[in-house]
Amino acid sequence: MPNLKEVKSRIKSVKSTQQITKAMKMVAASKLRKAQDSILQMRPYAKKLHGILTNVTHSSDEAVSSVYSEKRTPNKILLVAITSDKGLCGAFNTNIFKSTINLINESYQDQYQSGNLWILPIGKKSYEYFKKRKYQLIDDYWNILHELSFNKVKEAAEYVMNGFLSIEFDKVQIIYNEFKNVATQVQRVEAFLPIERNEDSHHDEMNHVDYIIEPSIEYIIEELIPQTLRIQFYKAILESNASEHGARMTAMDKATENAGELLKDLTLMYNRTRQAAITKEILEIVGGAEALASS
């Protein structure tokens, strides 16, 4: 059985840790509210923009093609892996690593072996993980989460778009955590380029709008598609940002609960150890008194 000093030291250490996890939970909750507001405001805009683009492309009798929808043999692959800058958020980052590795193993093993697969990490954890494992990285944009803004994300999105146009990449996919609620994040592997045309006829039938287009449908498409892609890229990062704070809040809440349970066990152990020490001292005193009386 441990001595009283050891148990008391452990109780003090656990209480200190519990205070830290409580504070981190409160900070995560504060950041989550802001991040949640951002993504909830972005979703309708992104959805409407995509809907307009779909309706415009379907409003012409002739198929409207775009350089961004050009399908090629996927010889050169770019994967955008979005994580956080910091840890202590449960399996948030680990899930992205697993999804990315699984995607490579299942779909792009040939491209990886031939050196035609690149990873664009977003977030410090993503950068460190893939760099340590010697993947080919595009490491110019991993730190954009430090002061997250549309202008910073736009630079990364345009780099990816220009890379597709210049045939540096034949296919681009984004791996990120989609925010559902505080306790739930869903891993998404989303096609970014080339653009996949929506073939859902029922959706088209229900949402078709007959637009009057000026100056021309080609011009509108040329302007809409790059803007839609930038918004799609930004939305994925906002989803991941909100998911990160939700995951950290949940992890810190669970850590605080676990610390409370551990404190109960340690307090019980302390009381038992103390009681055993007192009983031992009493027995020694009684034994000594009896020895003096018998002498």
The pLDDT value recorded for residue 205 is 45
The CATH H-level superfamily of 4-24+252-285 is ATP synthase, gamma subunit, helix hairpin domain (1.10.287.80)
CATH value of 31-248 in 3.40.50.1980, 1.10.10.60, 3.30.1300.10, 3.40.1380.10: 3.40.1380.10
Nearest by Cα to 88 from 8, 21, 180: 21
Q: Answer positive or negative: Cα dihedral of 194, 167, 165, 137.
A: positive
pLDDT digits (tens, 9 = 90+) for 79-122: 999 999 999 999 999 999 999 999 999 999 999 999 999 999 99
Percent of the chain exceeding pLDDT 90 equals 62
Work out the pLDDT band at 188, boundaries 50, 70, 90. Answer: very high
The pLDDT value recorded for residue 65 is 59
Are 232 and 46 spatial neighbours (Cβ–Cβ below 8 Å)?
yes
Q: Is 294 a catalytic residue?
A: no
pLDDT digits (tens, 9 = 90+) for 231-267: 999 999 999 999 999 999 999 999 999 999 999 999 9
Please tell me which residue in 56, 78, 89, 120 is annotated as part of the active site.
Answer: 89
Separation CA 189–CA 192 (nearest Å): 9
Separation CA 144–CA 104 (nearest Å): 25
**DSSP 8-state symbol, 215:** S
Separation CA 25–CA 203 (nearest Å): 42
**Which residue did the predictor score with more confidence, 63 or 145?**
145
Instruction: Provide the token pair at 113.
Output: 């072996």
pTM of the entire structure?
0.84
Residue 202 has pLDDT above 60, yes or no: no
Where are the chain's structural domains?
A: 4-24+252-285, 31-248
pLDDT mean over 138-148: 92
Work out the pLDDT band at 206, boundaries 50, 70, 90. Answer: very low
Residue 201 has pLDDT above 50, yes or no: no
Burial group, residue 290, by CB count within 10 angstroms (0-12, 13-18, 19+):
exposed
**Which residue did the predictor score with more confidence, 100 or 147?**
100
